[in-house]
Amino acid sequence: MPLTPLSAARLAALDAIAPAAPAHLPLLEAHGRFLAAGIAAPRALPGCDNSAMDGWAVRAEETRGANRDRPARLRIVDTVYAGHLPRRTLQPGEAARVFTGAPLSPGADAVVRQEAARPTDDGTHVDLFVSVTPGHDLRRAGEEVMPGTPLFAAGQRVDATVLGVLASLGEATALVRPAPRVAVVATGDELVPPGQPAQPHQVFESNRVLVAALAREAGANVTHLDRSRDDEAELHAKLEHLAPQVDVLITTGGASVGDKDCVKRVLTRMGARFLVDGVALKPGKPMAVARLGSTAVVVLPGNPGAATVAFDQFARPLLFKHQGVLEQRRVTRARLSESRHKQAGLTYLVTVSALEARDDGAEPWARLRPQGAGQILQNVAARGWAVLPAGRADFAEGESVDVQLFEQPDFQPVEAA
């Protein structure tokens, strides 16, 4: 069977899942989710003119010419705290003691901060030592947000600052798409759980932890972690049990065509419909994406390096689509730090450890790491993937290529794609 080109495979794989139905969640439960609809401000922020400082609410014109030698003296008629209303309108010659966030007294149009003023000994008047203009040290109603102002678009990730804005506008919930439920099943007779003794011919099983953590980083709720021997009956029973309970089922290992690589055979007998089976990608070539009933299934290779790349290119997009968004990574051009030879028919994704600026202002150097499907250390603190496209076998040192950057991606609503 011919291998599917990477771009076509990624597009086909997305049909394995649909966005989840949105739900109103309490703000803290919505943290990390994506908005299912745009939000406009329901009220002004701030809601009223208020003091930006502890000080004195005054009529600005009555401070004209005031200084340390000739202070302006006003009669104290009120004290206003944050969360309380002024008791009266200021008349000429009057001032009100105000605190940060307190509503501005009617008749006042400025605040003199307390460091620039001093009450008289009897507490009946205040001397002001500065001249201020209207609006001084005030927060005007709606100066940050006016009612009806569009704030966030659908697809906005709900981080701490977004939560703070919503709470400040009186919102108790946010309409978001819930986290996808994920199960991870590692396969292989050679696997030994970490913490138990292993013989030299055995392998400590790392993929469940690795893939579960990658899924969490993509916003998923990992509800089940399991492992299976290379036994078709055992694997069938586990997949049959787990698939109905999750939105995405991810397997690692047993993805190729060896005698004991049974994952695809088991899924086929269970009635899975394969959308992708083998990709012109290295590492990660034998991976597959299928639909099993209402559950999306991602079949990852067992080698950790290959599993990481295949997860990144296929499982991660599915998890985000379930949350109603498509991830748009930033791509930059950079020059290879070393030459690379590859199979001409495959797209290679090579780990970039650093992008080093050049003194001449030209494209940066992409520092490549040694690559191997079975290696895992290569991806620690990586900046992105250098993309060596299909159609060529040799890439020279200094040649310019695309680099997919991991940091600061954008997210686009699925409906707008």
pTM score: 0.88
**Range 29-33, long-range pairs (CB < 8 A, 24+ positions):** 30/158, 30/163, 30/173, 30/174, 30/176, 31/158, 31/159, 31/160, 31/163, 32/157, 32/158, 32/159, 32/179, 32/219, 33/157, 33/158, 33/174, 33/176, 33/177, 33/178, 33/179, 33/219, 33/323
Contact indicator for 205, 194 with CB cutoff of 8 Å: yes
Integer-rounded Cα Rg, in Å, for the chain is 31
Interval 299-323 mean pLDDT: 96
Listed in sequence order, the residues at least 6 apart from 69 whose beta carbon sits closer than 8 Å to its beta carbon are none
Q: Residue 372 pLDDT more than 80?
A: no
Reported confidence tier of residue 373, pLDDT bands at 50, 70, 90: low
Q: Residue 27 pLDDT more than 80?
A: yes
User: pLDDT at position 331, please?
Assistant: 97
User: pLDDT at position 224, please?
Assistant: 96
User: pLDDT at position 200, please?
Assistant: 65
- CA gap 56, 180 in Å, rounded: 54
In tens, the pLDDT along 63-93 reads: 999 999 999 999 999 999 999 999 999 999 9
**Range 62-65, long-range pairs (CB < 8 A, 24+ positions):** 62/92, 62/93, 63/110, 63/112, 63/128, 63/130, 63/131, 63/132, 64/131, 65/131
**Range 101-108, long-range pairs (CB < 8 A, 24+ positions):** 101/50, 101/51, 102/50, 102/51, 103/48, 103/49, 103/50, 104/48, 104/49, 104/50, 104/51, 104/57, 104/138, 105/57, 105/78, 105/80, 107/59, 108/57, 108/58, 108/59
